[in-house]
């Protein structure tokens, strides 16, 4: 962890930070394009929001920093609009009760959001119709390596065979790879969310709101609000920490104090999960030094953001096609 941490700090230097930022932006924009095609061609319904997102700030210095950063991403055609003070109410009137504490925000009109569970359920249905099989409640124990390749995946329910094996186990990719003699330097950062029923309240946001001060976001998903954020280094521990969960409630009521009478905590779903982080913030996608083993991991908090592009890149690599994005930029060899 010490070496990983030092490498993480090394990649935080300005020059490397911007290099990594552009690499992540390339994948995010590619994924957004593919997501549009997937949604339209498959007619999916997952409480999707295609009206953009808004990041709000409580001090001008932080707002100006994001404005400068957004300008840096202009080459990726990532549109944005800066709003000051009550100008924000033109695009998000639900913030009216708390405008006294908000100095402005940045609106990203091309951003999208949705219910990830519903999306993956829809994708499962479509994939099953095309012959895919899903095995639930199965624990992967080991990658069996013989003769320089993976010959089987050992699980608690027997062995699974395959011509190509994709290691996409998030934060658990590292120990699985290590047992096969492969270094995949991913570290878990625990994130939290609460999913809150609206209970008839109609004063919420019409798009995701990211609060810079709380480092968390509120997203409207049908008849619920999902509040997600924070990062905690706690190894592979997925248990809930009360203070972190309470922070989610604090954000909700800080931005939407009028919701308090509608909040029923006993009906709220509280959750924690592990975000697989790489030292430079970009995922590992592609071939490994083991002949038939591929990786697709290390997306941090941007798993769904980069999912479609990552999957398309990897499928192209496995099929022997040239990916649209530079394969070497996401290769495990850069680790």
Helix/strand/coil (H/E/C) assignment for every residue in the chain: CHHHHHHHHHCCCHHHHHHHHHHHHHHHHHHHHHHHHHHHHHCCCCCCECCCEEEEECCHHHHHHHHHHHHHCHHHCCCCEEEEHHHHHHCCHHHHHHHHHCCEEEEECCCCECCHHHHHHHHHHHHHHCCCCCCCCCCEEEEEEECCEEEEEEEECEEECCCCEEECCHHHHHHHHHHCCCCCCCEEEEEEEEEEECCCCCCCCCCCEEECCCCEEEEEECCEEEEEEEEECECECCCCCHHHHHHHHHHHHHHCHHHHHHCCHHHCEEEEEEEEECCCCCCEEEECCCCCEEEEECCHHHHHHHHHHHHHHHHHHHCCCCCCCCHHHHCHHHC
pLDDT value for 335: 66
- Whether the CB-CB separation of 302 and 33 falls below 8 Å is answered with no
Closest CA relative to residue 275, chosen from 247, 303, 296, 237: 303
Cα–Cα dist 111/228, whole Å: 17
Closest CA relative to residue 273, chosen from 242, 237, 243: 237
pTM of the model: 0.92
Residue-wise pLDDT tens for the chain (335 aa)? 656 666 766 677 878 888 889 999 999 999 999 999 999 999 999 999 999 999 999 999 999 999 998 888 888 888 999 999 999 999 999 999 999 999 999 999 999 999 999 999 999 999 999 999 999 999 999 999 999 999 999 999 999 999 999 999 999 999 999 999 999 999 999 999 999 999 999 999 999 999 998 888 999 999 999 999 888 998 999 999 999 999 999 999 999 999 999 999 999 999 999 999 999 999 999 999 999 999 999 999 999 999 999 999 999 999 999 999 999 999 999 86
pLDDT value for 20: 87
pLDDT value for 74: 82
Torsion sign, CA atoms 133, 305, 2, 237: negative
pLDDT value for 11: 75
pLDDT value for 230: 85
pLDDT value for 17: 84
pLDDT value for 303: 95
pLDDT value for 132: 96
pLDDT value for 184: 97
């Amino acid at each position: 962890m010490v070496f990983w941490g030092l490498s993480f700090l090394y990649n935080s230097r300005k020059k490397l930070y911007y290099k990594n930022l552009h690499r992540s932006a390339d994948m995010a924009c590619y994924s957004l394009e593919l997501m549009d095609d997937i949604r339209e061609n498959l007619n999916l319904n997952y409480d999707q929001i295609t009206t953009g997102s808004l990041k709000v700030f409580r001090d001008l210095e932080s707002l100006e920093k994001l404005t400068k950063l957004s300008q840096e991403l202009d080459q990726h055609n990532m549109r944005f609009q800066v709003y000051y003070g009550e100008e924000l109410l033109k695009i998000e009137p639900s913030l009216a009760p708390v405008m006294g504490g908000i100095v402005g925000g940045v609106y990203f009109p091309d951003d999208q959001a949705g219910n990830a569970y519903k999306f993956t359920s829809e994708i499962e249905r479509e994939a099953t119709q095309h012959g895919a099989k899903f095995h639930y409640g199965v624990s992967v124990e080991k990658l069996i390596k013989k003769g320089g390749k993976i010959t089987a995946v050992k699980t608690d329910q027997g062995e699974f065979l395959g011509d190509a094996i994709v290691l996409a186990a998030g934060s658990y990719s590292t120990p699985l790879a290590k047992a096969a003699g492969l270094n995949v330097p991913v570290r878990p950062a625990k994130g939290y969310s609460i999913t809150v029923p609206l209970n008839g309240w109609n004063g919420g946001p019409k798009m995701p709101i990211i609060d810079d001060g709380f480092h968390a976001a509120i997203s409207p998903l049908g008849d619920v609000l999902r509040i997600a954020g924070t990062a905690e280094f706690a190894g592979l521990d997925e248990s809930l920490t009360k203070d972190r969960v309470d922070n989610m409630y604090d954000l909700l009521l800080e931005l939407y104090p009028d919701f308090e009478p509608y909040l029923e905590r006993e009906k709220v779903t509280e959750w924690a999960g592990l975000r697989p982080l790489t030292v430079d913030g970009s995922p590992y996608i592609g071939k490994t030094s083991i002949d038939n083993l591929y990786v697709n991991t290390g997306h941090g908090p941007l798993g769904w953001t980069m999912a479609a592009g990552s999957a398309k890149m990897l499928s192209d690599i496995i099929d022997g096609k040239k990916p649209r994005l530079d394969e070497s930029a996401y290769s495990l060899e850069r680790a």
